[in-house]
Amino acid sequence: MTFLQIDTAERSVPAIGDWQAQARAARISTADLLAHLQLTPGDFAAGVIADPDFPVLVPPHFLAQIRARDPADPLLAQVLARGEEAWPQPGRLTDPLEEADYRAAPGLLRKYRSRALLIASGACAVHCRYCFRRHYDYGAAALPASGQAAALAAIAADPAIDEVILSGGDPLSLSDARLAALAAGIAGIAHVNTLRLHSRTLVVIPARVTDALVEMIAASRLQTVIVLHSNHANELSDDVRGALLRLRAAGATLLNQSVLLAGVNDAAEVIAGHCRRLLACGVLPYYMHLTDPVAGTAHFDVGTEMARDIEADLRRMLPGYLVPRFVREVPGELSKTPLWAL
């Protein structure tokens, strides 16, 4: 990693309608990101990293939601490689959830009795700096096209599995054709009745909601649950809202999971505003995750006691159905651990 000094020459960001073109345009240098936002490395106490090991990816739509000239913008904090990533961080891990222990076949994780998780793709539309899989070996763990039949056969052989979860990376980085083929294979397993997709792409590239995706969901015999990943109300533009409402109209159940992040959403008022905006988008809050001990992400941590205070405030501010469940993934546990049990 190298630290950066730049000038602030304006960068032209392409206006792109096609979702795959937007994904290709997401690769951006730290220098260009700062220049576009009229910021300099000196605006950040620990500086920024010019060439991070975990590359910077910011699609044009998401970039357009970030406030210029504001180094404290909560969306920028999620995508900028800040100098804190290079600080010594004893005890931080590259596989904090010990997921390698649950590999049942190429691309297939079996942690829960009634659910199987497929790492459908190693690609993401955006690189969130706090990502718990930022060090993940997708080459070894993601589902290869050649391994799809074996993974589906493993699911078909276990009648206890009634839900298949597509994760990643991001499963919506797959083309409509490949995603439809995978979903059809899952639908062909009689004892599976629910397909769940976890996606950040819907928030950062709302154009990913294509006619083909909507038709696939509407036509499937499976109950489709889509868990998007949004952390702040500013991410939920009118374009995102329109895309999400299309998915809901097609019959999908929409939930959201967030991560509690210092400098992004570590205040009850911020989370409450986000939850209300989610409801306006047809989405119910689901989980609020405390951060995992991932190498390079310690500056995002929010302490357990502060998290408890925030959750208590939210219960006073919001109706119960809008309060996300505060949880942490604990290695070795077969379910998420609620905040009160930590």
pLDDT for residue 140 is more than 80: no
Q: What is the average pLDDT score of the chain?
A: 91
| Shared domain check, 211 and 322 | yes
Q: What is the CATH number of the domain that holds 153?
A: 3.20.20.70
> Which has more pLDDT, 143 or 171?
171
> Among 82-91, 115-124, 212-221, which stretch is predicted with the lowest mean pLDDT?
82-91
Q: In this model, does residue 74 exceed pLDDT 80?
A: yes
Q: pLDDT at position 19, please?
A: 96
Q: Are residues 108 and 67 in the same domain?
A: no
- On the question of pLDDT at 94 being above 80, the answer is no
> Residue 92 falls within a domain, yes or no?
no
Q: What residue numbers bound the domain in which 196 lies?
A: 99-341
Tally the domains of the chain. Answer: 2
- Using the predicted structure, report yes or no on whether residue 206 has a pLDDT greater than 60: yes
Q: Which of 55, 86, 117 is the last residue of a domain?
A: 86
**Mean pLDDT, range 229-240, rounded to an integer:** 98
Same structural domain for residues 186 and 294?
A: yes
Q: Say yes or no to pLDDT of 219 above 50.
A: yes
Identify whether residues 28 and 177 lie together within a single domain.
Answer: no
| 334 & 291 share domain | yes
Let me know whether 70 and 199 are in one domain. Answer: no
167, part of any domain = yes
Q: Assess whether 158 and 287 both reside in one domain.
A: yes
* pLDDT number for residue 101: 65
pLDDT for the residue 96: 62
Same domain, 155 and 300: yes
> What would the pLDDT profile of 253-310 be if each residue is shown by its tens digit?
999 999 999 999 999 999 999 999 999 999 999 999 999 988 899 999 999 999 999 9
User: Are 51 and 119 contained in the same domain?
Assistant: no
Tally the residues of the chain: 342
Residue 2 lies in a domain: no
